[in-house]
Structure 1
Amino acid sequence: MDNQSDPEGAAESKPPQGNFAWLPVWLRGQPTWLKAVLAMVLVIALGSTAYAFSQVGRGGPPAPTASGAATAEGATSTPSPTEPAPAPAPPPAPEPPPVAMNILIIGSDSRGDSRAEEAQAAAGTPADQRADVLMLVHVPADRQKIYGISIMRDMWVNIPGRGEAKINAGLELGGIPLMVQTVEGLFNTHIDHTVMTDFAGFKRATDALGGVEVNVTVPFTSTHDSGHTFTPGINRLTGDQALEFVRERYAFADGDFQRIRNQQTFLKALVAQFMSAGTLTNPDKVVGVVQAVRPHLILDQDFTLDNLWRLGYSLRDVGPEDAIFFRLPDGGFGFSTTGQSIVFQNPGAIGAVSAALANGTLADYVAANGFEGGN
């Protein structure tokens, strides 16, 4: 995971208005839901891959019909009666069966040039960035569910080559490569892909949607930036307000626990709004959201547009009810030997999650621990 790619290079810097001409040529003529898959996956990078991947459209690409070959738009073309019918094309090579996949979602707290800071940290010089959001997204081989495991940013772990520290320091000390090594060591599992975004990308995606409505169950006044007050019930949040909503922890008696719940609440609202008919039937809005996010994403080099599309298509029958979030159980609060307030690991729980990931039995673990509704 040392090499990261920039989705900015995958498309023109400014797409034509009112269409999807900025997409790769092979994707432009496909049904609208396929275009939504790409957009959805990019929006997901805000720290929300699990739930968003589960929302991709159902169905599939048009198939050949008896009267002719299906065109990109689903219409059929019939051979001319005065010309011989073309020889049938050989069948495509069968796709290999899907395998389980782990994706690490990172929300950086960088307020500067996140790309420069990431390059600096990955090169071995500590940079001004930490992981404000960490989520391990597990996509099982059977593609029947999606799991998002939130990791508390203050969890005390071993950072390879750096000793013990809060897990979010991995991003500061060695960038995405070290963050990947740290999480892989925590779960004793392999991470296949990484997606990172920063504060600016989060805010711009929210504003591009015209704000996002969330149900605030625990009202509070933010201790960040504007000091916005979040009242009980439905609140329509701007990008700045949304960032304060998902970052806040000092206003709550249980701190980071409520922050993780708020992050998941916002995530579901963001995805629901993006997948609404009013958004997906409006090409300008879809393009606007994707364009707002793209400059602030860093994906690993193997997470190509083609791979994003294939992943989305493989999840075409997964619905929002099949996306399950839960927080990695911890061992309580305490202090490090240096006096830092930290969250201790729960070795038994981490071992159980690791075994479930390795054995493909995460569904059993979730059911046994009552995590179906998230926590």
Structure 2
Amino acid sequence: MSRPEQAAAPTPGDPSGPPAAASTPSGVGARPKRRRWGRIALVALLAVALLGAGGAVAGALWLRSVERGVDRVDAFAEVPEQERPATAARGALNVMVLGSDSRDPDGTQGSRADTIIVAHLPKDRSSAELISIPRDTWVPVPRSADGRQGGREAKINAAYAWGGVPLMVRTVEQFTGVRIDHVVLVDFAGFREIIDALGGVEITSEKTFTSIHPPFRTFRQGPQLMDGETALDYARQRKQFADGDFARIRHQQQVIKAILDRAASGGILANPGRLNAFVRATSDSVSVDRGMSLLDMATQLRGLRGGNLFFFTSPSRGTGTVGSESVVFADDRRARTLYDAVRRDAVKEIVAAGS
């Protein structure tokens, strides 16, 4: 297994010129209160799953300590109950995971949700089904609470800029028909430290390619051990792939699975130093809604491993343009089948519809 690739000093700059920033709807965005949210946004669930796997009193003590320091957000404020989907499967949970990469060299100014995931946790908690919704998916966005934004179709990530987490909840619930029970956000700044605390993660690159960002690493085809900075760079790459942002989603999913696999098999629970670094990096990065108990979630996810973590991408008909914006068009029929299975907690149907 090779060490992370460190590119030799190539000619500075991307020969194709600076990457174009993604177009987003105009308007004054709601600014995040204390931090911006990270791209690899399931670290929160992975962390509590890891500690739950420990099963020791020490894990509970750690989580109680961590839980007191985790930021809370009013995720469901300004979400009218009368417009929300009904709960169809008692005991199952649906967690919306949001992230944006404030340090992405391709990023634009302002608050955007670059990563949107609906994570379904079945009633028996035997698995987790993670559905990534492309950030450019063209959907109806409800009007914001102040009445100044929304009320029209736009890219789905515009909802976060226009009305913060509550408008994202409303938009995702309207798009999917799935009731969101909890929200998780992760500060991107902690991503590197989290992976480094695990001693790196193993990622298999589908092809050999060179990063478009300094220091212009070359990722060789096949498996390789990546430290936090290298994995972060890998997760950002999309312009070298024919399917663009779908490749970025695929890379995110690889890194999420690799984090969980490494955490479960890397002996971190037996290494107090690494455990301390991992938990502290995670707790510094995570924000959750006010109703989420990390201790309860850890207990429920104690059996979660890479082998029972399933990744899907929300069905689409492909890409196109609306006016001057490049967008992703949802495949309404296939999406309706997938999200109806999520709503009913029909795991086999989720897998069939998402495959």
Fold match by TM threshold 0.5: yes
CA contact (8 A) 1:104 1:193 kept: yes
Give the deviation of 1:317 after TM superposition: 4.2
Alignment partners' CA distance in 2, 1:327 and 1:156: 15
Residues in 1 aligned to 2:53 and 2:198: alpha-carbon distance in whole angstroms = 23
> Partners in 2 of 1:295 and 1:279 — Cα distance?
18
Closer/same/farther in 2, CA of residues 111 and 339 from structure 1, 3 Å limit: same
Aligned mates of 2:129, 2:48 — CA distance in 1:
10
SS at match of 1:275: helix
| Contact 1:54 1:146 (C-alpha < 8 Å) held by counterparts | no
- Indicate if the aligned counterparts of 2:129 and 2:311 stay in contact, CA closer than 8 A: yes
SS of the residue corresponding to residue 114 of structure 2 reads: strand
Contact 1:46 1:201 in 2 (8 A): no
Is 1:158 paired with 2:140? yes
3-state DSSP class of the match of 2:241? coil
Q: How does 1:203-282 map to 2 (within 5 A)?
A: 203-282=192-271
Give the greater-gyration-radius structure (CA): 1
Q: Kindly tell me: are residues 290 and 56 of structure 1, through their superposed partners in 2, closer, same or farther at Cα, counting changes over 3 Å?
A: closer
* 2:347 corresponding residue in structure 1: 362
Are positions 1:335 and 2:321 aligned together?
A: yes
Greater shift, 246-255 or 224-233, is seen at 224-233
- Deviation readout 1:28-57 (Å, 9 max, x if unpaired): xxxxxxxxxxxxxxx997335677766666
Residue segments in structure 2 that go unaligned for 5+ positions in a row: 1-29, 62-88, 144-149
Distance 1:342 1:110 in 2: 21
Aligned with residue 181 of structure 2, among 170, 175, 192: 192
Residue 99 in structure 1 maps to residue 81 in structure 2: no
Deviation at 1:59, TM superposition (A): 8.7
> Which amino acid is 1:195 matched to?
V
Q: 2:80 aligns to what?
A: none
In 1, distance between residues paired with 2:343 and 2:124? Answer: 14
2 CA distance for matches of 1:51 and 1:325?
A: 14
* C-alpha spacing 1:54/1:364, structure 2 compared with 1 (3 Å): farther
Residue 289 to residue 55, structure 1, CA distance change in 2 (3 Å): closer
User: Counterpart in 1 of 2:84?
Assistant: none
Give the CA deviation at 1:288: 0.4
Rate the CA distance shift 1:51–1:298 in 2: closer, same or farther, 3 A: closer
Q: In the superposition, relative to structure 1, how do residues 281 and 237 fare at CA in structure 2: closer, same or farther (>3 Å)?
A: same
Q: How many angstroms does 1:169 deviate by?
A: 2.1
1:152-210 alpha-carbon deviations (Å, 9 max, x no partner): 11111112111222112222222222211111111112111111123212222123333
- TM-score by structure 2 length? 0.70
Amino acid at match of 2:118: L
Q: Of 120, 140, 146, which aligns to 1:138?
A: 120
Inter-partner Cα distance in structure 2 for 1:208 and 1:152: 29
Relative to structure 1, the CA distance from residue 339 to residue 248 in structure 2 (aligned partners, 3 Å threshold; closer, same or farther) is: same
Q: Structure 1 residue 269: deviation in Å?
A: 1.4
Residue 319 of structure 1, CA deviation: 4.4
Shift of 1:274: 1.8
Look up the SS of the partner of 1:349 in the other structure: helix
Distance, in Å, in 2 between the alignment partners of 1:51 and 1:294 is 12
Q: Match for residue 298 of structure 2?
A: 312
Residues 225/298 of structure 1: CA separation in 2 closer, same or farther (3 Å cut): farther
2:69 aligns to what? none
Distance verdict in 2 for CA 1:370–1:353, change over 3 Å: closer
Structure with more relative contact order (C-alpha pairs < 8 Å, separation 6 or more): 2
| CA shift in 2, pair 1:175/1:225, >3 Å | farther
> Which secondary structure does the structure 2 equivalent of 1:131 belong to?
coil
Alpha-carbon contact 1:225-1:244 (below 8 Å) kept: no
In the superposition, the TM-score normalised over structure 1's length comes to 0.67
Of the candidates 35, 42, 46, which is equivalent to residue 41 of structure 2?
A: 46
Name the structure 2 match of 1:123: none
SS at 1:302's partner residue? coil
The farther-off stretch of 219-228 and 243-252 is 219-228
Alpha-carbon distance in structure 2 between the residues aligned to 1:158 and 1:224: 34
Q: In 1, Cα distance between the equivalents of 2:219 and 2:112?
A: 26
Distance 1:359 1:194 in 2: 20
> RMSD in angstroms over aligned alpha carbons?
3.2
Amino-acid identity (%): 37
> Compared with structure 1, are the counterparts of its residues 311 and 293 closer, same or farther at alpha carbon in structure 2 (3 Å cutoff)?
closer
